[in-house]
């Protein structure tokens, strides 16, 4: 934007007056003007940056690999991003590719089959690759993308094993490229607010942190087969959330697990898990996981400290309550991850694109996801061997 005239936004005085009135309004105290109140946030930005010249309008060329449940969600978020140009989608299932192409009228996007994946690495216009394939395929695509000097957004987990993850991070470091492992829950506005309020000391010293993560609907057995098992597919989200909020890694874990669903038992996997972890500060974490809750996608977080408690309960898609002569009923909680974490998916994509545009490090650090992988492995070992595990003192030194 060097020599050109600044693009001055013609600031409407009426809007300015409205904004000032709003700031002073008793009806709308400032604390209620939330970052998600897009219209109000817009006015605030105009107020602050009305005459600013933006240098972060660079359009990022993107390729998406895998248009399944999560790939489709990211595609939708990327389509509405002001600075993203989707250049390629790679998908093994022709019907899914056709549906997406027609549904969104994506005439300018090139759809590729898996054996044409190399095309995205050869195209210099691709700045970033979104890896949304089944878990066991992540590492291969991440390595190829990094070798081709592309930034990487990869669904969790980055690879099926610790060494594979390490390899990805070393390569990203070597080429100085952002790599983002999509622990979306960190971008959920409620969980993020809890993290910030815990850090501010509002509830004092943390004694207990509890998460409840029950899936809905039950994923297909084809998915579960290649998922890496409940500890590495589901548990990692909760382990990451807990460690992120406490800002420390555990010193011991103790886990119980069971399979109520015969098909899951036949895979030597579990559908119901409870994990307890103790941290150096004395805090105790309790994680409750299930592959299926019939009443919806149940995601709760509670942090209990010496000065009080912060919690985030089930989120409902609407706020409607039915009152009758016998009682009152709420609508059910969100049905699946797509609706429950819709905002988190938006915000994580926004964060990643910002990192690519502005050459920033992502918020999800290599040492954190590597430690989470190790912790999930200890948790699984505890369940399978029916043992309490003291984590070796220097277990996370390689990560720190």
CB of 73 to ligand NAD, least distance (A): 8
Q: Which stretch binds ligand NAD (CB under 6 A): 84-92, 200-208, 270-278, 351-359?
A: 84-92
Told to check if 271 binds ligand NAD by CB under 6 A, we report: no
130 secondary structure, DSSP code: E
In sequence order, the 6+-apart residues with CB closer than 8 A to the CB of 222 are none
Contact between 271 and 229 (Cβ < 8 Å): no
Q: Considering beta carbons, is residue 127 or 348 the nearer one to ligand NAD?
A: 348
Q: Considering beta carbons, is residue 153 or 169 the nearer one to ligand NAD?
A: 153
Task: Please select the residue that binds ligand NAD; options are 61, 66, 178, 305, rule is CB under 6 A.
Answer: 66
How far is Cα 254 from Cα 200, in angstroms, rounded to an integer? 30
Told to check if 215 binds ligand NAD by CB under 6 A, we report: no
Q: Which stretch binds ligand NAD (CB under 6 A): 36-44, 61-69, 103-111, 207-215?
A: 61-69
Sign, CA dihedral 97-102-105-108, equals positive
Contact between 317 and 334 (Cβ < 8 Å): yes
Told to check if 337 binds ligand NAD by CB under 6 A, we report: yes
Q: Considering beta carbons, is residue 92 or 218 the nearer one to ligand NAD?
A: 92
Task: Please select the residue that binds ligand NAD; options are 43, 60, 84, 90, rule is CB under 6 A.
Answer: 90
Q: Please, what is the angle between helix 236-246 and helix 366-385, to 10°?
A: 120
Closest C-alpha among 83, 81, 76, 77 to residue 60? 83
- Residues contacting ligand NAD: total by CB under 6 A: 25
How far is Cα 240 from Cα 288, in angstroms, rounded to an integer? 14
Residues in 122-181 at the binding interface with ligand NAD, rule: CB under 6 A: 132-135, 137, 155-156
Q: Considering beta carbons, is residue 70 or 243 the nearer one to ligand NAD?
A: 70
Q: Considering beta carbons, is residue 195 or 237 the nearer one to ligand NAD?
A: 237
| DSSP codes of every residue in 151-172 | EEEEPSSSSSSHHHHHHHHHHH
Q: Considering beta carbons, is residue 233 or 269 the nearer one to ligand NAD?
A: 233
Task: Please select the residue that binds ligand NAD; options are 12, 21, 41, 93, rule is CB under 6 A.
Answer: 93
Q: Please, what is the angle between helix 38-49 and helix 13-24, to 10°?
A: 110
Task: Please select the residue that binds ligand NAD; options are 78, 142, 146, 184, rule is CB under 6 A.
Answer: 184
How far is Cα 345 from Cα 339, in angstroms, rounded to an integer? 10
Longest dimension (CA), the chain: 71
Told to check if 109 binds ligand NAD by CB under 6 A, we report: no
Q: Considering beta carbons, is residue 109 or 203 the nearer one to ligand NAD?
A: 109
Q: Considering beta carbons, is residue 137 or 145 the nearer one to ligand NAD?
A: 137
Query: Count of CB atoms within 10 A of residue 384's CB?
Result: 13
Give the binding site for ligand NAD (CB under 6 A): 65-71, 90-93, 96, 114, 132-135, 137, 155-156, 182, 184, 223, 233, 337
């Amino acid at each position: 934007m060097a020599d050109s005239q600044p693009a001055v936004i013609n600031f409407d005085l009426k809007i300015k007056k409205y904004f000032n009135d709003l700031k002073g309004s008793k009806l709308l105290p400032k604390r209620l003007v939330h970052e998600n109140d897009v219209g109000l946030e817009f006015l605030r930005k105009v107020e602050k940056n009305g005459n600013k010249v933006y240098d972060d309008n660079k359009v990022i060329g993107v390729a998406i690999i895998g248009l399944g449940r999560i790939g489709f969600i990211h595609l939708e978020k990327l389509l509405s991003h002001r600075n993203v140009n989707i250049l390629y989608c790679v998908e093994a299932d022709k019907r899914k590719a056709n549906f997406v192409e027609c549904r969104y009228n994506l005439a300018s996007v090139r759809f590729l089959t898996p054996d044409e994946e190399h095309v995205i690495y050869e195209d210099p216009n691709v700045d970033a690759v979104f890896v949304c394939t089944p878990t066991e395929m992540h590492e291969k695509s991440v390595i190829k993308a990094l070798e081709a000097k592309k930034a990487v957004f990869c669904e969790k987990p980055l690879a099926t094993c610790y060494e594979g993850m390490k390899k990805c991070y070393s390569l990203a470091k070597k080429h100085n490229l952002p790599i983002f492992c999509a622990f979306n829950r960190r971008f959920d506005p409620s969980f993020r607010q809890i993290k910030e309020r815990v850090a501010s000391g509002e509830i004092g010293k943390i004694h207990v942190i509890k998460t409840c993560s029950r899936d809905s609907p039950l994923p297909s057995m084809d998915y579960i087969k290649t998922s890496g098992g409940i500890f590495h597919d589901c548990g990692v989200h909760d382990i990451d959330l807990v460690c992120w909020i406490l800002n420390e890694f555990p010193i011991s874990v103790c886990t119980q697990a069971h399979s109520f669903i015969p098909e899951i038992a036949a895979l030597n996997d579990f559908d119901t898990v409870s994990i307890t972890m103790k941290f150096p500060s004395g805090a105790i974490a309790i994680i409750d996981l299930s592959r299926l809750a019939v009443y919806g996608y149940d995601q709760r977080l509670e942090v209990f400290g010496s000065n009080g408690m912060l919690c985030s309960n089930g989120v409902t898609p609407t706020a409607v309550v039915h009152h009758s002569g016998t009682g009152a009923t709420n609508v059910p909680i969100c049905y699946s991850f797509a609706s429950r974490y819709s905002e988190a998916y938006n915000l994580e994509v926004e964060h990643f694109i910002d990192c690519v545009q502005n050459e920033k490090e992502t918020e999800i650090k290599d040492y954190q996801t590597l430690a989470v992988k190790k912790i999930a492995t200890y948790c699984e070992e505890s369940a399978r061997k029916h043992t309490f595990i003291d984590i070796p003192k220097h277990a996370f030194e390689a990560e720190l």
